[in-house]
């Protein structure tokens, strides 16, 4: 339920509502607008009739149900787009930030060199996995804590914000100590314990769509993070499994306008995982911007041929620079700046 306060409602009216909502056993989530505030009351659907009677309380304009199953993530709850701030970078605002870097952090030289190269080309966030989810247990699993240390050194050197994946609930605090943004990967999109833990920390979350997840499941996963009080969630379309084998995944760009309609959360596009091949990355990056994405995530490697993971889909720095130049008119046409 959404409790819409009157323009004239006082802070005391608002506090009374919050108190009553919580007394009825619901969580309250407040959005303070410039004109008026709204309180989202989320919890067990069965008792929602009781929330209706809050319409009788002072300062309340109306009480309306949120029809979508994802409550806090829905446009019904919050009609205006959310802007998520990651260090000095805004996602969902006037700019269209590009996150770039290697799939995995491999060594100090590798991450430093890549960070400098992507920064020079115009990226504003450095990506790189320290903890890697791999299909094979024999594949490189990431440098772990050492990888986090190297990312921090790269941030120190370049000023880029860093996004890196967290695989387990028990690692959330450790990763959050270093990262400016926590990545929850496709394979963990429905790891509910991990989503809840990420909801408890004060770091923005980049949530990637599961490879077999529907848009609704994707937004329900975001809802887990939001419901714990962390409202800084950025979604990432990174391709889904279909019958098509010509590309690694099928980048579902339909999801971008669909999610824009259903949710206020920003959504970025990852054409590297979405295609699985460097030759297709730039075309799909442009397409992502054209269909309304709020940003991009691109894998870049100094020497893709010797990368520990995802070399085939990684761009060399020169190609990344070219991508940044080629997307510029699309960014401008979308009414934004890089």
Site membership for ligand PEP, residue 273 (CB under 6 A)? yes
Q: Are 148 and 111 in contact (CB under 8 A)?
A: no
Residue 274 burial (10 A CB sphere; 0-12, 13-18, 19+): buried
Site membership for ligand PEP, residue 71 (CB under 6 A)? no
* CA gap 85, 161 in Å, rounded: 10
Q: Is the dihedral of CA 326, 331, 337, 338 positive or negative?
A: negative
Could you say which of 117, 143, 161, 186 contacts ligand PEP (CB under 6 A)? 186
The item of ligand PEP, Mn ion, none sharing an interface with residue 300, based on CB under 5 to 8 Å by kind, is none
Could you say which of 59, 92, 97, 185 contacts ligand PEP (CB under 6 A)? 185
Closest chain position to ligand PEP (CB):
185
Nearest CA to 116 out of 155, 158, 153, 156 is that of 158
**Nearest-approach distance from CB 166 to ligand PEP, in angstroms:** 11
Residue 248 burial (10 A CB sphere; 0-12, 13-18, 19+): buried
- Among the listed ranges 78-86, 183-191, 285-293, 329-337, the one in contact with ligand PEP (CB under 6 A) is 183-191
Site membership for ligand PEP, residue 103 (CB under 6 A)? yes
Say which DSSP state 315 is in: B
Q: Are 284 and 269 in contact (CB under 8 A)?
A: yes
**Where do contacts with Mn ion occur on this chain (CB under 5 A)?**
103, 310
CB atoms within 10 A of CB 303: 11
Site membership for ligand PEP, residue 238 (CB under 6 A)? yes
Nearest to ligand PEP of 93, 133 (CB atom): 133
Could you say which of 81, 133, 169, 292 contacts ligand PEP (CB under 6 A)? 133
The item of ligand PEP, Mn ion, none sharing an interface with residue 144, based on CB under 5 to 8 Å by kind, is none
> 189-208 b/e with 16+ CB inside 10 Å = b?
bbbeebbbbbbebebbbbbb
- Among the listed ranges 66-74, 152-160, 179-187, 279-287, the one in contact with ligand PEP (CB under 6 A) is 179-187
Helix (H) or strand (E) holding 49: helix 48-52
Could you say which of 155, 208, 260, 301 contacts ligand PEP (CB under 6 A)? 208
**Nearest-approach distance from CB 186 to Mn ion, in angstroms:** 10
**Nearest-approach distance from CB 194 to ligand PEP, in angstroms:** 12
Interface with ligand PEP by CB under 6 A: which residues? 103, 129, 133, 185-187, 208, 238, 273
């Amino acid at each position: 339920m959404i409790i819409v306060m009157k323009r004239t409602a006082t802070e005391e009216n608002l506090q009374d509502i919050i108190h009553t909502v919580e007394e009825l056993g619901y969580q309250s989530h407040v959005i303070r607008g410039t004109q008026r505030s709204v309180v989202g009351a989320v919890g067990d659907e069965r008792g929602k009739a009781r929330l209706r009677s809050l319409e009788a309380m002072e300062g309340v304009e109306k009480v309306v149900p949120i029809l979508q199953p994802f409550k806090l993530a829905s446009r019904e709850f919050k009609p205006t787009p959310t802007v998520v701030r990651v260090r000095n970078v805004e996602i969902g605002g006037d700019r269209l930030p590009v996150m770039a870097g290697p799939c995995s952090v491999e060594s100090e030289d590798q991450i430093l060199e890549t960070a400098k190269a992507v920064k020079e080309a115009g990226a504003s966030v450095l990506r790189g996995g320290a903890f890697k989810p791999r299909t094979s247990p024999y594949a490189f699993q990431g440098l772990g804590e050492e990888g986090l240390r190297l990312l921090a050194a790269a941030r120190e050197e370049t000023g880029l914000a860093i996004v890196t994946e967290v695989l387990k609930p028990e690692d959330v605090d450790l990763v959050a100590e270093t990262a400016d943004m926590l990545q929850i990967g496709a394979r963990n999109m429905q790891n509910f314990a991990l989503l809840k833990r990420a909801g408890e920390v004060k770091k923005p979350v980049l949530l990637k769509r599961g490879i077999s997840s529907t848009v609704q499941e994707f937004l329900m996963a975001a809802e887990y993070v939001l419901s714990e009080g962390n409202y800084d969630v950025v979604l990432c379309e990174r391709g889904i499994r279909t019958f098509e084998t010509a590309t690694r995944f099928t980048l579902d760009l339909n999801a971008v306008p669909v999610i824009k309609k259903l949710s206020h959360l920003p959504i970025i596009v990852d054409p590297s995982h979405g295609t699985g091949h460097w030759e297709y990355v730039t075309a799909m990056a442009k397409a992502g911007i054209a269909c309304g994405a709020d940003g991009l995530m691109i894998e870049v490697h100094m020497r893709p041929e010797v990368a520990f993971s995802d070399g085939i889909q990684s761009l060399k720095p020169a190609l990344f620079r070219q991508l940044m130049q080629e997307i510029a008119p699309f960014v401008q046409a979308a009414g934004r700046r890089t």
